[in-house]
Amino acid sequence: MTVEVNGQMFEGMGPTKKKAKLNAAEKALRSFVQFPNASEAHLAMGRTLTVNTDFTSDQADFPDMLFNGFETPAAPEEAFFLGSNGNSSLNSLGEYPLPTPPGSNLVQAPLPPLSIFSSPSSGKNPVMILNELRPGLKYDFVSESGESHAKNFVMSVTVDTQTFEGSGRNKKLAKARAAQAALSTLFNMQLDQTPSRQPIPSEGLQLHLPQTAVPLQFALFELGRNPEVQERVRQQVRVSCAQAGGDPQKTLQGAPLLKGTIKEILRLYPVGTTVQRYPIKDIVIQNYHIPAGTMVQACLYPLGRSADVFEDPLRFDPGRWGSSREGGQREEGAGGFRSLAFGFGARQCVGRRIAENEMQLLLMHILLSFHLSVSSSEDIRTTCTLILQPETPPRITFSQL
């Protein structure tokens, strides 16, 4: 965009027309606005002076961006933030001037005011922050790999002649990670170390991690203290894997004992100990009148261990959930309402299939690589906070096959 002032033309550039117009206006202002004192100019613009500021240079007093602290921050796109409390790791940003591209004679603008970074509510992700520091950057698609259910994308960005790459399960996340790498290398900006805000190597810690990690811990324990069951599941996985040619999805389909293991673990050790519902009208359950709007809870822990519902309920038997059970038949009355770990109906856990597949895949890889054993076969003492978990983690030995 261009602007004419006193017969002179000033050209501005930016990622949007608005910012290009702003840049042109600033250049025009720079042609006739003069601060008599450089320190006052920096204070007026909310900047911190560096130790060896050259007060003889008008250009140093007036960087490319004269005014940059008045725009309303955009809404966050991804949960990436800087600073463990929103500002602690950025208090020293003024100590790191932006590097100047090799061979450039331009005086580089100092960092924007800390206020645009320090507010936790600003929620700016790495791409947004890098764009403010280096407007107009272009992100390039590098590669795509992986199966349709586990894609991995790689994106790159070039900043000051240096190229940075980032990878992720989608292009947006890959761009964010490329921007993270640039911010870390060029501007010494470190990502927040708060676990809930870490990127997923995790894809960082996921919200459902405890709900899958804890049942897997119980599963490894039960397989370790039931070696005959462990071997039966392993053999079925090996056969299925060979028949599927290594395809994970087909392997899971051909190994029902894997799914049965997860269901059996969630029967004995439900992550959530109850399922709640509120009837929309008065109902009668086992001769008890329940008024509409009353919370009704199904207690999963005693349900999963009830002899009225399950045959030999304390025995760990993944085969009870399918036709691969010893004897060739599943238990009588094995219906969906006996397995309520993820809830049921329209309001069941939306991540059920993801969690089940995640646990089965990890268990499959462990069984193909290791033999499991435990130091004690005694029952695990459990405690329930938000979820059911062991009071003390069981000691499990992994012996490579």
- Predicted confidence at residue 103, as pLDDT, reads 46
Please indicate, yes or no, whether residues 96 and 182 belong to a single structural domain of this protein: yes
What is the percent of the chain with per-residue pLDDT over 90, rounded to a whole number?
Answer: 21
Please indicate, yes or no, whether residues 197 and 216 belong to a single structural domain of this protein: no
| Long-range contacts from 197-200, C-beta under 8 angstroms, 24+ separation | 197/79, 197/80, 197/81, 199/80, 199/168, 199/173, 200/168, 200/169, 200/173
> Higher confidence at residue 53 or residue 250?
250
Please indicate, yes or no, whether residues 189 and 102 belong to a single structural domain of this protein: yes
Please indicate, yes or no, whether residues 261 and 137 belong to a single structural domain of this protein: no
| 57 CB burial (10 A radius; 0-12, 13-18, 19+) | exposed
- Predicted confidence at residue 345, as pLDDT, reads 75
Please indicate, yes or no, whether residues 219 and 332 belong to a single structural domain of this protein: yes
**Residue 110: inside a domain, yes or no?**
yes
**Residue 163: inside a domain, yes or no?**
yes
Going by their DSSP bridges, the two strands 296-299 and 274-277 should be labelled as antiparallel
Which tens digit of pLDDT belongs to each residue from 320-351? 887 544 444 455 544 556 777 777 777 777 77
The yes-or-no verdict on residue 12 having pLDDT over 90 is: no
Which tens digit of pLDDT belongs to each residue from 370-396? 999 999 889 989 888 778 888 888 899
- Predicted confidence at residue 191, as pLDDT, reads 60
The yes-or-no verdict on residue 111 having pLDDT over 50 is: no
What is the percent of the chain with per-residue pLDDT over 70, rounded to a whole number?
Answer: 67
Q: What one-character-per-residue DSSP string does 132-168 give? A: HHSTT--EEEEEEES-TTS-EEEEEEEETTEEEEEEE
Distance separating alpha carbons of residues 225 and 361, to the nearest angstrom: 21
Distance separating alpha carbons of residues 223 and 233, to the nearest angstrom: 9
- Predicted confidence at residue 226, as pLDDT, reads 94
**Residue 43: inside a domain, yes or no?**
no
**Residue 57: inside a domain, yes or no?**
no
Domain count within the chain: 2
Please indicate, yes or no, whether residues 127 and 257 belong to a single structural domain of this protein: no
Please indicate, yes or no, whether residues 396 and 249 belong to a single structural domain of this protein: yes
- Predicted confidence at residue 158, as pLDDT, reads 93
**How sure is the predictor about 222, in pLDDT bands with cuts at 50, 70 and 90?**
very high
> Where in the sequence is the domain holding 235, given as residue range(s)?
209-272+304-400
The yes-or-no verdict on residue 248 having pLDDT over 80 is: yes
Please indicate, yes or no, whether residues 90 and 189 belong to a single structural domain of this protein: yes
- Predicted confidence at residue 197, as pLDDT, reads 40
Which tens digit of pLDDT belongs to each residue from 64-102? 444 444 444 444 444 444 443 344 333 333 444 444 444
Is pTM beyond 0.75? Reply is no
The yes-or-no verdict on residue 224 having pLDDT over 50 is: yes
**Residue 23: inside a domain, yes or no?**
no
> Higher confidence at residue 228 or residue 196?
228
**Residue 284: inside a domain, yes or no?**
no
